[in-house]
Amino acid sequence: MAARDTEILIVVDVQNDFCPGGALAVPEGDAVVPVVNRLAGRFAHRILTQDWHPAGHSSFATSHDGRAPFETAEMPYGTQVLWPDHCVQGSAGAAFHPDLQVDGADLIIRKGFRSAIDSYSAFFENDRKTPTGLAGYLRDRGFDTVVMAGLATDFCVAYSALDARRLGFATTVVVDACRGIDLNGSLDAALKEMAAAGVALSQAATL
Ligand code: VGL
Ligand code: ZN
């Protein structure tokens, strides 16, 4: 398949904290790096997302007295999973995996930078209303198709893919270029929800 000017690869949160040894390590998270790098060569345009939280972010369990990571809390915008402190702005954990090809990206979009609200999706924060600006960026540049890879399948990748689909972009998730956290069956649920919403689930070798 020749690279097309109307499609873009979105590489979600391939950061040290989501890789083995990191603060919120996704099992085999680093295994996506070579797959994503190979995939990148097939696209004329690429975006990277970067989870980018201020210290003391409200999604961190340490910001809630007596609460532990992976419990949930009720926030003004709904139920929020509480995470270990991760991807703190400027920290080594927030940096991209050292082997990830970064230089060829058209744009790096940061998310989760507002203390009071988390943002799994690259399009809308967790109130599902506050836009990141990515939809406008993609439309302004004439993209109609997004292909997604990265971490974690069942959180930032799934939320981003479902929003992309809702916004009218043809959307593919490259499943073997992603890894999941799988909190209480969230991985299977996310794959089913994406399939039901019309997100194409594919393998890197077929692209
Ligand atoms: C993510 C939990 C918290 C992700 C980010 O990238 O999937 N998950 N922050
Ligand atoms: Zn986060």
Question: What does pTM read for this prediction?
Answer: 0.97
CA 185 remoteness from chain centre: 18
- Rounded CA gap, 184 and 175, in Å? 19
Q: How many CB atoms lie within 10 A of CB 129?
A: 9
Residue 3 has pLDDT above 80, yes or no: no
Q: Of all atoms in ligand 1, which is nearest to the CA of residue 59? A: 3
Residue 39 pLDDT grade (very low, low, confident, very high; cuts 50, 70, 90): very high
**1, pLDDT greater than 80:** no
* 166-195: b (≥16 Cβ within 10 Å) or e: bbebbbbbbbebbbbbbeeebbeebbeebe
How many Å lie between the centroid of ligand 2 and the Cα of residue 134?
18
Minimum-distance ligand 1 atom for the alpha carbon of 156:
7
Nearest CA, atom 8, ligand 1: 155
Length in residues, the chain: 207
> Using one digit for the tens of pLDDT, what is the confidence trace for 47-70?
999 999 999 999 999 999 999 999
Kindly tell me if the per-residue pLDDT of 2 is higher than 70. Answer: no
Residue-wise pLDDT for 166-201, tens only, equals: 999 999 999 999 999 999 999 999 999 999 999 999
- Return the exposure string of 37-66: e unless at least 16 CB atoms fall within 10 Å of the residue's CB, then b: bebbeebebbbbbbbbbeeebbbbbeeeee
Tell me the DSSP string of 55-111.
Answer: TT-TTBGGGSTT--TT-EEEETTEEEE-B-S--BTTSGGGSBPTTS--TT-SEEEEE
Q: What is the mean pLDDT of residues 120-129?
A: 97
End-to-end distance of the chain based on CA atoms, in angstroms? 7
pLDDT value for 4: 86
Strands 7-12 and 78-81 turn out to be: unpaired
Question: What does the block give as tokens for 120?
Answer: 């799994």
Residues whose beta carbon lies within 6 Å of some atom of ligand 1: 13, 18, 51, 83, 120, 151-152, 155-156
Q: What is the reported pLDDT for 131?
A: 97
DSSP 1: -
74, HSE (Cβ side, Cα atoms, 13 Å)? 0
